[in-house]
Structure 1
């Protein structure tokens, strides 16, 4: 039996990461896991997020246990494991060697759009909250190791989801299926317990929405947060997959 393909998709919040997880879960050969580092992150940082106690109770809070679960054998008939990760959940001061056991992909979005969306759900936003600084750190780390890690910009992706998914499946060495382009609306058993706080749009979705430019108005503080993350975004975007 061939080894399973284990995909780690690293993103920031308020991106298309949950819709991307829907696309992969709609494959009959794939198991998905939703933000497996979330509880560990909340316990380590002490942050108070919506549904914090539910998240901490629902997931392992010790990193080795999280990683063990990500590497566990797959159910019969499943050959792909897809993990949706938030890059800001990763502890950059701890060992990140465990990430090398996965086919890593970075998913990015313009920081002004991310911040504008983020502050509609949260009162405050700082540069470390939106994942781009951590994604640049990860890319630099993997580059130093000579790892092949693609970067996907969500704006490009939404202009042609099929072409990007075909490219990604080819890079992973698995067959593309058009089941990845649409899915039934509603919740999934695999959704994190935080879904009621964050997933309204995805729960109503049946596919990827076409890209449209966003009108962004930010406060002085929030504009400074976006500006602080822009160099990281531009570096990541330079490396994006071009279809």
Structure 2
């Protein structure tokens, strides 16, 4: 599952973890991304220390077999982590799905957690590039699902998603225990407070937030990449 940050990605990971037949992995390449780029993120040192920093080792695990012997392996990936220097051939062993969210909502949420937001930070350009890459080698467009649609109709959209990727839907996916998941990455204390309080998907979102200044410009830059994938969503 490929998304940028603040895209309902953690709630989706919790949803799949609740299935009972699924192993989940939280942002497998985050440590490797930080180690390779030297970029400063909240809890950078803790993340690198707690998680595998070698992208080739991470890729080998992503290809399977599924840890724990489960039927489904849900990998929550951030598009910005899959930098060009990392070998992407492992992706051909997986079903690649693209989780999108309107950039105005992403930016409003992300800016509350990390100042100085840039286009590279929110992953829209990288998401479109990865989408094109998967479409090119697979010969068809990969599945796209919009977080707004999931929040408006969780059961309906999860049924569509499961059908599109060839697994059964279970109503267990609609709820999970509050307090987080044992698969949470080391970064969870900084980013996951709201989803830790949740026990299911929140209701439909309201109007788009009003952004001003540099954030309005940033949303305008990201919008074409979002709209490109949104035109193909479930």
In which range does the TM-score fall when normalised by the shorter chain? over 0.9
Secondary structure at the counterpart of residue 65 of structure 1: helix
TM-score (norm 1): 0.91
Aligned length: 233
Say yes or no: does 1:97 pair with 2:89.
yes
For 1:1-243, list aligned pairs within 5 A. 9-75=1-67, 78-145=70-137, 146-214=139-207, 216-241=209-234
Question: Residues of 2 paired with 1:79 and 1:51: CA distance?
Answer: 33
In structure 2, stretches of 5+ residues that fail to align are none
| Residue 151 of structure 1: how far off its partner (Å) | 0.7
Q: Give the 3 Å change call, closer, same or farther, for CA 27–224 of structure 1 in structure 2.
A: same
After TM superposition, where is structure 1 displaced by more than 6 Å over at least 4 residues in a row?
A: none
Secondary structure at the counterpart of residue 114 of structure 1: helix
| Residue 96 of structure 1: how far off its partner (Å) | 2.2
| Residue 196 of structure 1: how far off its partner (Å) | 0.4
Q: Give the 3 Å change call, closer, same or farther, for CA 56–143 of structure 1 in structure 2.
A: same
> Residue by residue, what CA displacement relative to the aligned partner does 1:96-152 show, whole Å, maximum 9, x if unpaired?
222121100000111111111111111111111111111110111122221441111
TM-score (norm 2): 0.95
Question: Residues of 2 paired with 1:169 and 1:214: CA distance?
Answer: 28
CA contact (8 A) 1:107 1:153 kept: yes
In structure 1, stretches of 5+ residues that fail to align are 1-8
Question: Residues of 2 paired with 1:28 and 1:156: CA distance?
Answer: 24
